Structure 1
């Protein structure tokens, strides 16, 4: 297994920080949605983040531009990984609690395993089906009191789960594509740019000035989503993957825990035995697919 030789303490700190920052995205999204419309919150973020990444890639690191079919590949990847995934996600988060949003996001590895089997036309393993059942069951258990208390709706939660499917398709497409020696910063920069570009007409058509207040709440939420979430958390994730991909994946288990803790403190969302049971089921489903599902 590849390793960076990084000190254990440094890896633990990086893992905990990554899980906290990644889980905080749902709460930051909910905070931002209290000030502006969904796509108004996310689309400018995509253009700012892509500009920073492309500046680093092309001006700083002197990496080449995509060529030929690579342009199509980064555009398709951006369509699924940014436009559909995050576009549907932020709309669904209007009617989903921050804790449930973080819990649903943590199920991505399970959806990827399921869709990979379908994509590659392999028989579905019982373990994959069991993991998906546990994760969806856990989300349903955790969602029950939140829906009853008007913290979430079935439609909102359904859209968030649909966005996970779009993300999983994007991940499988990326792994199946040949980008040759194109640098990861270049790929991420351009796919984020195209993802924002595809959503721009929707944002403009949907825009209602009366529903947007570009105040301090909007600014802080946007800055948090761009800096700590989109940039720092991703860098920490790559650092953990470089040291040990298998061990890195287990830090995802902390995301639901941090997600509900952050939502309880910032959003005053209730915690209950349903929350604990739901998180436990999702973590168990994730553990099974990470440990034996590959």
Structure 2
């Protein structure tokens, strides 16, 4: 990768890591479902008037919009509102990598390799350790909701993979049209104080909506989509491992979230597991290509 593209990949991870702190700030101003609705409204409009849909089927837009936009972000925002720390959320939601592998094996008959299975075990042990060591200090409800968001993200990944290779940036912009109305309806049913929250919105709330909607969604996915079009996904995807690193660092720095020794060890296990899943097969193919059968393709 060119150096400027490496910087762009790191910048995207930086933006997405900081996004978890911004979500925490936004939830101080809005109920979670309303905040999510505002975020996607801001992401979709006016972007859809300038970004061509490019033949992405409405069926795919609707499915991804409901699963990723409504379910995943509702659970994520509700989990953080329920007491899940922002930094820990940035790490736990990356379990979507593990759940995607498992769902791929079930629905797409795409079984993970042995090294990926080892990575799944390592990462899941780290998640279990987080749940055990933080049981007294972290809302288990919040933890469960964030893990539920990771499962929803994994299902969205399967839907996208089944539908074919569409431009991730265009899909993200157009699918952002779907969540606002369902989220507003759910907010009216399950939340209260929406009018007061919007009318009393300060700079913090406005900034959170603009950052999560424009910077973390439109701009960051635009950069990420450009990188995926320019390079192999195997080269770009590992930079996503920096997201929880930035998320936990910003949470400690800006929100003063404490990190215990056991918590750091658990986080290290999760990151090690994720790195094994994402990078392990590629490393094996590079250092021991003779172990592959004649004519076999590289593991991706």
Normalization by structure 1: what TM-score?
A: 0.85
1:104–1:160 Cα contact (<8 Å) kept: yes
C-alpha deviations, 1:128-159, integer Å up to 9, x for none?
4432232232234345554433xx21111111
What is aligned with 2:180? Answer: 196
232-241 vs 116-125, greater mean Cα deviation: 116-125
Q: 1:1-294 maps to which residues of 2 (within 5 A)?
A: 7-8=2-3, 10-58=4-52, 70-94=57-81, 95-121=83-109, 125-142=113-130, 144=132, 146-149=134-137, 152-178=138-164, 186-209=170-193, 212=197, 213-241=200-228, 242-291=230-279, 292=281, 294=300
Separation in 1 of the partners of 2:54 and 2:224? 24
2:42–2:210 Cα contact (<8 Å) kept: no
Partner of 1:271, secondary structure, is: coil
CA change 1:171–1:148 in 2 (3 A) is: same
Separation in 1 of the partners of 2:55 and 2:112? 39
Partner of 1:281, secondary structure, is: helix
1:65–1:186 Cα contact (<8 Å) kept: no
Separation in 1 of the partners of 2:231 and 2:54? 27
Normalization by structure 2: what TM-score?
A: 0.83
Separation in 1 of the partners of 2:162 and 2:90? 27
CA change 1:123–1:231 in 2 (3 A) is: closer
C-alpha deviations, 1:260-283, integer Å up to 9, x for none?
110011111002322321222112
1:75–1:190 Cα contact (<8 Å) kept: no
CA change 1:15–1:124 in 2 (3 A) is: closer
Q: Number of residues paired by the alignment? A: 277
1:19–1:251 Cα contact (<8 Å) kept: yes
Unaligned runs of 5+ in 1: 1-5
CA change 1:121–1:18 in 2 (3 A) is: same
What is aligned with 1:3? Answer: none
Unaligned runs of 5+ in 2: 282-298
Separation in 2 of the partners of 1:215 and 1:158? 31
